[in-house]
C-alpha cells in the first residue's frame, strides 16, 4: 500500500540518485543494459495525443512522465468538464533478461492557483496488467493557494509488488486532477490545478525498485 507525503513547494530536487560507490541501494541494483519504455496507450482528457512523454534516467533508477496540457480548472473561461482531468497510461517497460521491477516511489509536481474557498485534488494509482488494481492515493489542496506543489507516494520495501519474472505485463498508471469551486466566486475568478511541463522543468518521476529473477 502506498504511503503519502506532501510539501507546499517543489523547490527541492525530486529524488536524489545514489552516487557510484555509495552504500547498497535499498531499491536494488539496476540492470546495466539500457532500459526502454514504450507508450502502448494514452487515454484521458488530461493527456491529449502528443502531450505526454516518457523518458528513462541514464542510470536506470527511474523514469519521468511529462505533460504539456494537464490542467483542471473552474471559473471564468472554464467549461463544466474542465473541473476534472485524468490520464491513463499503459507502458511496456522492456526489462533485461533476469531482472524484474516495481514502482517504489512517485513524485508529482505542478502549479496551483486556488481562490479562497476552492480546493483541489491529485490522485493516482499503479498496477501491472492482469493484476489487482491498487487503491488510489489522494492529495488535497485548499485555497487560497498560488504556488508550486509537490506530492509523493511511496511503498515500503517489503510491500513492493514486482512484475512477474519472464512475463510481459504492461504497467498501468492512472492519474487525476480535480478542482472544486466551493465557496469561491466562479463568475469573477478562476481556480486551477496543473501538472504540466510547458516550461520544461515539471515532470512526474517514478522510482524503480529492481531485483534479479530466480534462475530457471
Tens-place pLDDT, residues 98-120: 999 999 999 999 999 999 999 99
> Which residue in 107, 89, 103 sits closest to 52, CA to CA?
89
Pull the grid cell for residue 64.
Answer: 519521468
Residue 3 has pLDDT above 60, yes or no: no
CA distance 94 to 62: 13
Share of the chain above pLDDT 90, in %: 69
Identify the pLDDT of residue 22. Answer: 43
Identify the pLDDT of residue 135. Answer: 81
Q: Give the chain's mean pLDDT.
A: 86
The pairing of strands 99-114 and 119-128 is: unpaired
Q: Residues 172, 130: contact at Cβ < 8 Å? A: no
Pull the grid cell for residue 216.
Answer: 530457471
CA distance 61 to 208: 5
Mean pLDDT on 144-166: 91
Q: Residues 60, 101: contact at Cβ < 8 Å? A: no
Q: Which of 91-100, 174-183, 194-203 is predicted least confidently?
A: 194-203
Q: How far is residue 211 CA from its own chain's centroid? A: 22
Residue 77 has pLDDT above 70, yes or no: yes
Residue 198 has pLDDT above 70, yes or no: no
pLDDT classification of 155: cutoffs 50, 70, 90: confident
Residue 64 has pLDDT above 60, yes or no: yes
Share of the chain above pLDDT 70, in %: 85
Identify the pLDDT of residue 201. Answer: 60
Amino acid at each position: 500500500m502506498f504511503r503519502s507525503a506532501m510539501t507546499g513547494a517543489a523547490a527541492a530536487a525530486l529524488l536524489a540518485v545514489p552516487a557510484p560507490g555509495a552504500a547498497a541501494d535499498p531499491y536494488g541494483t539496476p540492470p546495466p543494459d539500457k532500459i526502454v519504455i514504450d507508450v502502448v496507450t494514452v487515454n484521458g482528457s488530461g493527456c491529449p495525443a502528443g502531450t505526454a512523454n516518457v523518458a528513462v534516467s541514464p542510470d536506470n533508477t527511474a523514469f519521468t512522465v511529462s505533460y504539456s496540457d494537464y490542467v483542471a480548472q473552474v471559473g471564468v473561461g472554464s467549461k463544466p468538464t474542465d473541473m476534472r482531468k485524468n490520464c491513463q497510461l499503459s507502458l511496456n517497460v522492456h526489462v533485461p533478461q533476469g531482472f524484474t521491477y516495481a514502482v517504489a516511489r512517485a513524485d508529482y509536481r505542478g502549479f496551483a492557483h486556488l481562490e479562497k474557498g476552492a480546493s483541489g485534488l491529485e490522485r493516482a494509482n499503479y498496477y501491472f496488467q492482469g493484476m489487482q488494481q491498487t487503491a488510489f492515493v489522494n492529495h488535497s489542496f485548499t485555497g487560497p493557494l498560488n504556488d508550486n506543489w509537490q506530492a509523493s507516494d511511496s511503498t515500503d520495501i517489503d510491500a513492493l509488488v514486482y512484475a512477474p519474472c519472464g512475463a510481459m505485463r504492461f504497467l498501468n498508471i492512472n492519474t487525476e486532477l480535480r478542482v472544486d469551486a466551493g465557496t469561491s466566486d466562479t463568475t469573477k475568478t478562476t481556480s486551477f490545478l496543473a501538472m504540466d511541463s510547458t516550461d520544461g522543468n515539471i515532470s512526474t518521476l517514478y522510482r524503480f525498485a529492481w531485483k534479479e529473477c530466480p534462475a530457471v
